[in-house]
Amino acid sequence: MKKILALLLILFHSAATASQVEIKGGVFTPLYGSAKKTVKVSTFSMDVTPVTNADFLAFVNSHSEWRKSAVSPIFAEADYLRRWISPSELGPDALPDGPVVNVSWFAAKAYCESKGMRLPTVNEWEYVASRPIPGVDVRKAILDWYSEPTPAVLPSVNSGFKSSNGIVSLHGLIWEWTLDFNSAMVTGESRADGSLDKSFFCGAGSANAADKSDYAAFLRFGFRSSLKAKYTVNNLGFRCVK
């Protein structure tokens, strides 16, 4: 039985350590940019799926400073890896091929670096997110998903929407960390207002938006700017790029 489990784990693991897809560079208009200007994104490679629990378990096993039992409170909140039953075991609430969540930005950064990669920038992430998903009204589907509660056990990283460029679960499974998540919605007033908290709640901020009907993107930018790097949110994971 144990052997079968181990084999399954390995299978899950190899399925989960999916390769990357090359994202051809190009130009797009992010929701918030420098005066609604288009942004150029260079070619990069992105993980097909978010990082799985099994992937992250292998990482903490070889980088003990990122174990739940060892991690510094300035790098991750107390809820870090909350769904795991122990610092070195996943348990029933964290499927091996499910996305790792309750991870801080610092932990996500360290994971990607350990693979010689990094987190995607907001622009890179949104650029990929702006691609069509075959047969799906993307914005409506995303809003439907945003309105659903997070399930107690998150399903496989392959269960989200599949984009036309081969990227899976960018929408429809979890939220994802970005490298410069906390630079969203920085206003011209930032020099006077260091914490920028006002800008997070000010409705006038939307006057700068490129497409006021892209409500899903509003939600993402709003969510990102509410985060701090040590936060460990229940439905927030990540994927890496190169």
Least distance from C-beta 194 to other proteins, angstroms?
4
Nearer to other proteins, 127 or 161 (CB): 127
Q: Which two tokens stand for residue 58?
A: 């292998």
The interface mask with other proteins, positions 173-192, x = CB under 8 A, is: ------xx-xxx-xxx-xxx
How far is it, in rounded angstroms, from Cα 63 to Cα 66?
6
Contacts 24+ apart (CB under 8 A), 144-151: 145/171, 145/172, 146/216, 146/219, 150/234, 150/235
The interface mask with other proteins, positions 64-83, x = CB under 8 A, is: --------xxxx--------
Least distance from C-beta 221 to other proteins, angstroms?
12
The identity of residue 32, as a single letter, is: Y
116 makes contact with other proteins (CB under 8 A): no
229 makes contact with other proteins (CB under 8 A): yes
| Helix H or strand E segment including 56 | helix 53-62
Tell me whether strands 44-47 and 20-23 are parallel, antiparallel or unpaired: antiparallel
Nearer to other proteins, 20 or 190 (CB): 190
34 makes contact with other proteins (CB under 8 A): yes
Chosen residue from 8, 78, 113, 151 binding other proteins by CB under 8 A: 113
Tokens 């992937």 identify what position?
A: 55
Q: Which two tokens stand for residue 100?
A: 């790792």
The dihedral over CA atoms of 51, 57, 63, 66, expressed in degrees to the nearest 10, equals: 80
Residue 241's DSSP bridge partners are 46, 118
Chosen residue from 44, 105, 177, 221 binding other proteins by CB under 8 A: 105
119 makes contact with other proteins (CB under 8 A): yes
Q: How far apart are the first and last CA of the chain?
A: 39
* Listed ranges 8-16, 89-97, 137-145, 228-236: which one lies at the site for other proteins (CB under 8 A): 228-236
Chosen residue from 42, 43, 147, 195 binding other proteins by CB under 8 A: 195
Residues of this chain that bind other proteins (CB under 8 A): 34, 72-75, 105-106, 109, 113, 118-119, 179-180, 182-184, 186-188, 190-197, 228-230
